[in-house]
Amino acid sequence: MKTVFAYVKPYKWFAFIAIALMLFELCVELIQPLIMAKIIDEGVVVKDVITIYQWAAILVGLTIITFIAGIINSYFSAHVAQSFAFDLRSALFSKIQSFTMATYIKYPSSALITRLTNDVGNVQQVVFMLLRIMLRAPLAIIGSFIMAFYVNAKLASILLIATPVLAIFLVVMVTKGIKLFSKVQKSLDGVNRKLQENLQAIRLVKAYMRGEYETNRFAEVAGKLKFDSVKAMRTMEYIMPVLLFMMNVSMLGVIWFGASYVGAGDMKLGEAVAVINYTMRITMIFSMFVFIIILFARAKSSAERMEEVLLVEGGTEQIGEPQAALQGAITFHNVSFRYSEQTAYVVKDVSFTLQEGEKLAILGATGSGKSTLLQLLLRFYTPTTGEIYIGEQNIADVDVATLRSSIGYVPQQSVLFSGSIEDNIRWGKEDALAEEAERAASQAQIHTSIESFEEGYATIVGQKGVNLSGGQKQRLSIARALMRKAPILVLDDSTSALDVKTESALWQALEEEHATMLVVTQKIQTARGADKIALLHEGEFVAFGTHEALSESSELYQQIAASQQEVTL
């Protein structure tokens, strides 16, 4: 928890002010029973009206000042909590952004979303309540005990019977609560994961009329969250009856013996009232511990989950300032890769050289390692064995920012962000001018389509581009990559939704870039325009050469070409 709560440090002075005001409130609260005792013993009993008015005025004055102090305390507490939550959420997001892909895939996206939302909220609430109530509660109990003993130690000693038992009971319940609420948070991850998955596939769900089926599946994970939440809350609810029983027994004891002492003349009536008042305060504060324990248990569980992300070491990318773009031949030298020692190799002993300005088309069946090959070039993953060079430089020795600023990347699945079409194109280069965005769109063969929209480049892209066709999304993704003017262009099967005429015009326009291109494709028509073609099978290069050479030497390439010709016919 230290790592998480360290984000409070920049606001320590605001926290100190809030704590000072809280302590002032507490002091007044502890003094009030003494003033009531004075009013009773020195005013009511002896019928001194002036004394009653004097102490009553002091009591009202302190109450007003305490009210003002409480408002100011709330302001500073809220400022600290909100600022802390902002910094913590930003740190978590920044940390996630620095993850290597190997680290990122260890965490379901739904679990990361829960950490950035629900978990941060749980801890934020505790920070606020800590400065407002939580820290005050134990201090109020300790202070009430001290003041009760100060008034009359003999009567106050009755309170010591129940206190040690309650303290042990609360420690046990806190420990148990932390474990239970940790399960609740994990169940919440499951609900978020199911919700995210379903919303992303809403078109498929509707097309297959599987709404009821998905509703039942969601009910299962939501039911688990309900079960874990009920179990946790039910366990916490045991605290209240036990606390109240023990403290009410103590209260009865104080009232019984207090009446006896007053009757025997061993104690003033005001003193008895003051001790009873302190006992009532202790009882009320103990009843608040149910709420406090639930908050603390949730926050500790959430803090541990966030620390797991914040303290990740060795799985992050160290990114500096991008330098001059890398240029030259791309060389894979005996490159092999697998995701872990327990899994099979996805890429096996791949070696090839692509000269600067050349275009390489990569073909292969699904799962043959095509996309992984491109991700190794982007250094999303590090080769298990072998090296990759751009020019004379091993990319393992190049800063990630420099490497990736040298590459324009178009992923297999087109990804668009919230905002306008122009925002999405310029996302590839933040300082780009509108004219540059239009030129990139023209090269990507999407400019005419954009102009046909009522608001043109200002058209707002729906969630994940829902208001655009598959081909339009692909071309926008290509335009975004072209904005970078990078010397290397990587397209991962990103023209699959384009018709022959549009794709042909696209490749013709891309010739103007004079970029080194690696293109994953399933189309022989696309591959034949490349300088070199690589045919992947189960992670290995089974053929490498020009279209003409492979048409003569590779039986597998011939089969692919023949099958596509049949489909065309």
Number of domains in the chain: 2
Residues 175 and 48 grouped into a single domain: yes
Residues 429 and 306 grouped into a single domain: no
Q: What is the pLDDT of residues 425-438, one digit of tens each?
A: 888 787 878 888 88
Whether residue 504 is predicted with pLDDT greater than 90 in this model: the reply is no
Which of the listed residues 310, 335, 366 is the one where a domain comes to its end? 310
Residues 149 and 281 grouped into a single domain: yes
Report residue 351's pLDDT band, with 50, 70 and 90 as the boundaries. Answer: very high
Q: By the 8 A CB rule, do 232 and 183 touch?
A: yes
Each residue of 214-231: b (16+ CB within 10 Å) or e? beeeeeebbebbeebbee
Residues 139 and 24 grouped into a single domain: yes
Average the pLDDT over 510-515 and give the result: 83
Q: By the 8 A CB rule, do 566 and 552 touch?
A: no
- Give a yes or no: residue 392 inside a domain: no
Name the phi and psi angles at 363, rounded to 5. -115, 155
Whether residue 568 is predicted with pLDDT greater than 80 in this model: the reply is no
CATH of the domain at 118: 1.20.1560.10
Report residue 336's pLDDT band, with 50, 70 and 90 as the boundaries. Answer: very high
H-type alpha helices, 427-537: 434-443, 447-452, 470-482, 500-510, 524-527
Alpha-carbon distance values, 71 to 26, 138, 375, 558 (Å):
14, 21, 55, 80
- Give a yes or no: residue 496 inside a domain: no
Alpha-carbon distance values, 408 to 4, 342, 418, 488 (Å):
37, 33, 21, 6
Task: Indicate if the alpha-carbon torsion angle 149, 155, 157, 162 is positive or negative.
Answer: negative
Average pLDDT across the chain, whole number: 82
In a 3-state reduction of DSSP, which class is residue 517? Answer: strand
Residues 177 and 301 grouped into a single domain: yes
Report residue 294's pLDDT band, with 50, 70 and 90 as the boundaries. Answer: confident
CATH of the domain at 431: 3.40.50.300
pLDDT at 348: 92
- Distance between start and end Cα atoms, the chain: 66
In a 3-state reduction of DSSP, which class is residue 139? Answer: helix
Residues 271 and 141 grouped into a single domain: yes
pLDDT at 246: 72
Average the pLDDT over 489-494 and give the result: 89
Our CA angle for 278, 128, 226, nearest 5°, is 95
Report residue 500's pLDDT band, with 50, 70 and 90 as the boundaries. Answer: confident
- Give a yes or no: residue 280 inside a domain: yes
In a 3-state reduction of DSSP, which class is residue 406? Answer: coil
The span from the CA of 492 to the CA of 310, in Å, is 32
pLDDT at 301: 78
The torsion of the CA quartet 268, 273, 276, 281, rounded to 10 degrees, works out to -140
The 8-class DSSP code of residue 99 comes to B
- Give a yes or no: residue 465 inside a domain: yes
- Give a yes or no: residue 124 inside a domain: yes
- 258: Cβ–Cβ under 8 A, 6 or more apart, which residues? 155, 267, 272, 275, 276
Residues 287 and 431 grouped into a single domain: no
Whether residue 359 is predicted with pLDDT greater than 50 in this model: the reply is yes
Q: What is the pLDDT of residues 113-155, one digit of tens each?
A: 888 888 888 888 888 888 887 777 778 778 877 777 777 777 7
Whose CA is closest to 81, among 26, 1, 18?
A: 18
Q: Which amino acid type is present at position 357?
A: G
Give the helix, strand, coil percentages of the chain, each rounded to 5.
Answer: 65, 10, 20
Whether residue 567 is predicted with pLDDT greater than 60 in this model: the reply is no
pLDDT at 518: 92
Three-state helix/strand/coil letters over 53-75: HHHHHHHHHHHHHHHHHHHHHHH
Residues 303 and 426 grouped into a single domain: no
Whether residue 329 is predicted with pLDDT greater than 80 in this model: the reply is yes
pLDDT at 466: 61
Residues 291 and 176 grouped into a single domain: yes
The label of the residue with tokens 């009971």 reads 169
Which of the listed residues 254, 279, 310 is the one where a domain comes to its end? 310
The span from the CA of 37 to the CA of 43, in Å, is 9
pLDDT at 569: 41
- Give a yes or no: residue 79 inside a domain: yes
Q: By the 8 A CB rule, do 167 and 318 touch?
A: no
Report residue 75's pLDDT band, with 50, 70 and 90 as the boundaries. Answer: very high
Residues 300 and 418 grouped into a single domain: no
- 534: Cβ–Cβ under 8 A, 6 or more apart, which residues? 352, 360, 361, 362, 363, 541, 543, 544
Which of the listed residues 268, 287, 310 is the one where a domain comes to its end? 310
Q: What is the pLDDT of residues 370-411, one digit of tens each?
A: 889 999 998 888 899 999 999 888 998 888 888 888 888 888
Q: Per DSSP, which regions of 206-346 are E strands?
A: 330-337
Whether residue 360 is predicted with pLDDT greater than 70 in this model: the reply is yes
Q: By the 8 A CB rule, do 344 and 538 touch?
A: no
Residues 298 and 421 grouped into a single domain: no
Residues 275 and 419 grouped into a single domain: no
Of 250 and 194, the structure prediction assigns the larger pLDDT to: 194
Task: Indicate if the alpha-carbon torsion angle 211, 214, 219, 222 is positive or negative.
Answer: negative
Average the pLDDT over 300-325 and give the result: 78
The DSSP bridge pattern shows strands 347-354 and 330-337 to be: antiparallel
Report residue 208's pLDDT band, with 50, 70 and 90 as the boundaries. Answer: low
Range of the domain at 302: 2-185+238-310
pLDDT at 499: 81
Report residue 206's pLDDT band, with 50, 70 and 90 as the boundaries. Answer: low
H-type alpha helices, 105-135: 109-114, 120-129
- Give a yes or no: residue 319 inside a domain: no
- Give a yes or no: residue 16 inside a domain: yes
The side-by-side arrangement of strands in the sheet containing 393-394 is: 347-354, 330-337, 385-390, 393-394
pLDDT at 377: 92
Average the pLDDT over 336-340 and give the result: 88
Q: By the 8 A CB rule, do 535 and 543 touch?
A: yes
